[in-house]
C-alpha cells in the first residue's frame, strides 16, 4: 500500500514487536501515515499550492522527513524548540507561527545566525516595533509575516483593519523583510458538513487574499499568502491567490477529525497500545493501563456529534470494536465499557493481559503524553521514533 521514505526505513530497525512492548505505548501505523501524507500532498499539488506541514502534531523528525520526502516545502512550528530541532535535522525553511515577542527574539536571532531561514509572525504594532528595533540593534533583517484573523478564532488582524497597514509599514519601513500574510481558521473544527467546511475554507482563503491585496495596493510587498488547518485544507474548492497551506493533524488524523468528516476511521494512524489489567464485571468495565496520562485529558469529541469518551477501542490488529470506548480515565487507569447496555461478559471478552489499541480524540494532545512513538511498519516491525517535549 505504501512506500516508505529512505530516511524512515533507515531508522526502522526491528527493535520490538507489539506483543512485547511496554504499555501504554503510542503507536504509529506507518502505512496509514504515509497514505495521509500522500493524500494531503496530492491535494495541495492539484490545488497548485505548496504544503508547509505543521510539526506541532508529531514533534518527530521521522514524521517530518516523510512529509518532506512526499513533496512538502519547509515546516511550520509552534515553538522555537521545534524550530531548532528541525534546523538541526537539515530543515532551513521554518515558519514559527506563534506571535513573536521581544523576549523570544534572541532565540530567533540565534537560529538565523546559524543559517536558518526562520520566518516569524506578528499581529501588533508593538511587536513589530520590537522586531525592527532588535533587528536594527543586531544588524539582522528578520523575515516577518503578518497574522490575519479570518474567523475571530484567536489571534491576528482582520483583513480590513487599519492596523494591517500600520503593522506592515512598521516592519517594511523599519528594515524587516515583509514576507507575507498568514491565517489559520481554527473555527473550522466547529463544523461537520462539507458545505459548512467549504464555506469556512473560502472565508479563510478570501480573507487572507484580501489582506495581501491591501498590502500590495499600498505598495507593500506580500510574496506569501499562507492559510490552513486540516479541515479547510481538505475542504477548499479552490485556493486562488494562496501560495501555501499549513496543516498538522492530517498526518495522523484522529476522532475529532473523523467527526468533522474529513477522514474515515481507518485513516487514523495514531493509537495507544494498552493492556487490560482488571475488571468490574457488575458494571461492565474493563480497566486498562491507558488513563489520561496516556490519552491526554482532551475530550474534543465531547461536544461533537459522536462522543468517543477518551477513545475508541480497537483490537491489537487495529480493527475497530464498535460501541466500545474508554468511558473514563484516571491518571494511569482507563475505564473501558460498552456504550448503552453494560457488557456483563466484559471479563471474558477482554481477559486480563489482553492488548488493545485506543484511537485518540486529538492526536496532537495524545502524542504529547509520550517521549517517543513506536512506528509499526506494514510487516509488523516496530521502530522507536523520538519526539520533542517541552519548550
If binding is defined by CB under 8 A, does position 308 make contact with a copy of itself? no
Closest to 374 in 3D by CA, of 280, 294, 259: 294
Q: What's the distance, CA 212 to chain centroid?
A: 25
By CB under 8 A, how many residues form the interface with a copy of itself?
Answer: 60
User: Smallest distance from the beta carbon of 83 to a copy of itself, in angstroms?
Assistant: 12
- Find where cell 497574522 sits: 147
Torsion of CA 352, 357, 363, 365, to 10 degrees: 10
Q: Which stretch binds a copy of itself (CB under 8 A): 45-53, 191-199, 215-223, 347-355?
A: 347-355
The Cα–Cα gap between 173 and 186 comes to: 31
If binding is defined by CB under 8 A, does position 218 make contact with a copy of itself? no
Q: Which stretch binds a copy of itself (CB under 8 A): 94-102, 111-119, 172-180, 319-327?
A: 94-102
The Cα–Cα gap between 151 and 227 comes to: 12
Q: Which stretch binds a copy of itself (CB under 8 A): 87-95, 151-159, 216-224, 260-268?
A: 151-159
If binding is defined by CB under 8 A, does position 155 make contact with a copy of itself? yes
If binding is defined by CB under 8 A, does position 296 make contact with a copy of itself? yes
Q: Which stretch binds a copy of itself (CB under 8 A): 136-144, 231-239, 262-270, 367-375?
A: 367-375
The Cα–Cα gap between 269 and 36 comes to: 8
Nearer of residues 9 and 126 to a copy of itself, judged by Cβ: 126
CB neighbours of residue 281 within 10 Å: 15
If binding is defined by CB under 8 A, does position 134 make contact with a copy of itself? no
Q: One symbol per residue from 270 to 289: x for binding a copy of itself (CB under 8 A), - otherwise; what is it?
A: -----xxxxxx--x---x-x
Closest to 82 in 3D by CA, of 52, 115, 60, 106: 60
Exposure letters 100-120 (e unless 16+ CB within 10 A, then b): beeebbebbbebbeeebebbb
Report the length, in residues, of the chain.
391
If binding is defined by CB under 8 A, does position 116 make contact with a copy of itself? no
Closest to 29 in 3D by CA, of 216, 220, 254: 254
Nearer of residues 99 and 175 to a copy of itself, judged by Cβ: 99
**Residues in touch with a copy of itself (CB under 8 A):** 22-25, 56, 78-79, 98-104, 107, 123-124, 126-127, 130, 149, 152, 154-155, 186, 275-280, 283, 287, 289, 292-294, 296-299, 330-333, 335, 351-353, 362, 364-365, 368-372, 389-391
Amino acid at each position: 500500500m505504501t512506500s516508505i521514505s529512505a530516511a524512515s526505513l533507515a531508522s526502522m530497525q526491528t527493535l520490538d514487536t507489539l506483543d512485547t512492548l511496554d504499555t501504554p505505548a503510542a503507536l504509529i501505523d506507518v502505512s496509514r501515515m504515509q497514505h495521509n501524507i500522500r493524500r494531503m500532498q496530492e491535494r495541495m499539488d492539484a490545488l497548485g499550492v505548496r504544503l508547509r506541514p505543521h510539526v506541532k502534531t508529531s514533534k518527530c523528525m521521522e514524521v517530518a522527513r516523510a512529509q518532506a520526502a512526499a513533496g512538502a516545502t519547509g515546516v511550520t512550528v509552534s515553538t522555537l524548540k521545534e524550530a531548532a530541532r528541525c534546523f538541526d535535522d537539515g530543515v532551513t525553511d521554518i515558519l514559527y507561527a506563534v506571535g513573536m515577542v521581544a523576549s523570544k527574539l534572541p532565540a530567533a536571532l540565534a537560529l538565523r545566525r546559524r543559517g536558518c531561514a526562520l520566518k516569524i509572525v506578528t499581529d501588533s504594532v508593538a511587536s513589530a516595533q520590537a522586531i525592527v528595533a532588535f533587528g536594527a540593534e543586531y544588524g539582522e533583517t528578520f523575515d516577518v509575516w503578518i497574522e490575519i484573523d479570518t474567523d475571530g478564532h484567536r489571534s491576528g488582524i482582520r483583513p480590513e483593519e487599519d492596523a494591517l497597514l500600520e503593522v506592515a509599514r512598521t516592519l517594511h519601513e523599519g528594515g524587516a523583510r515583509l514576507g507575507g500574510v498568514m491565517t489559520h481558521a481554527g473555527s473550522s473544527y466547529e463544523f461537520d458538513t462539507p458545505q459548512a467546511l467549504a464555506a469556512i475554507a473560502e472565508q479563510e482563503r478570501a480573507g487572507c487574499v484580501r489582506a495581501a491585496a491591501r498590502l500590495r495596493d499600498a505598495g507593500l510587498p506580500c510574496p506569501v499568502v499562507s492559510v490552513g488547518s486540516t479541515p479547510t485544507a481538505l475542504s477548499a474548492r479552490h485556493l486562488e491567490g494562496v501560495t501555501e497551506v499549513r496543516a498538522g493533524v492530517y498526518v495522523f488524523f484522529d476522532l475529532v477529525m473523523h467527526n468533522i468528516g474529513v477522514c474515515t476511521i481507518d485513516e487514523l494512524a495514531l493509537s495507544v497500545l494498552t493492556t487490560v489489567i482488571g475488571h468490574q464485571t457488575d458494571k461492565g468495565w474493563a480497566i486498562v493501563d491507558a488513563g489520561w496520562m496516556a490519552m491526554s485529558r482532551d475530550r474534543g469529541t465531547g461536544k461533537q456529534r459522536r462522543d468517543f469518551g477518551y477513545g475508541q477501542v480497537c483490537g491489537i490488529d487495529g480493527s475497530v470494536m464498535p460501541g466500545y470506548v474508554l468511558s473514563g480515565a484516571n491518571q494511569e487507569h482507563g475505564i473501558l465499557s460498552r456504550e448503552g447496555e453494560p457488557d456483563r461478559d466484559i471479563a471474558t471478552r477482554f481477559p486480563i493481559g489482553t492488548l488493545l489499541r485506543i484511537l485518540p480524540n486529538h492526536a496532537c494532545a495524545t502524542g504529547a503524553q509520550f517521549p517517543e512513538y513506536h512506528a509499526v511498519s506494514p510487516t509488523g516491525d516496530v521502530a522507536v521514533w523520538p519526539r520533542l517535549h517541552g519548550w
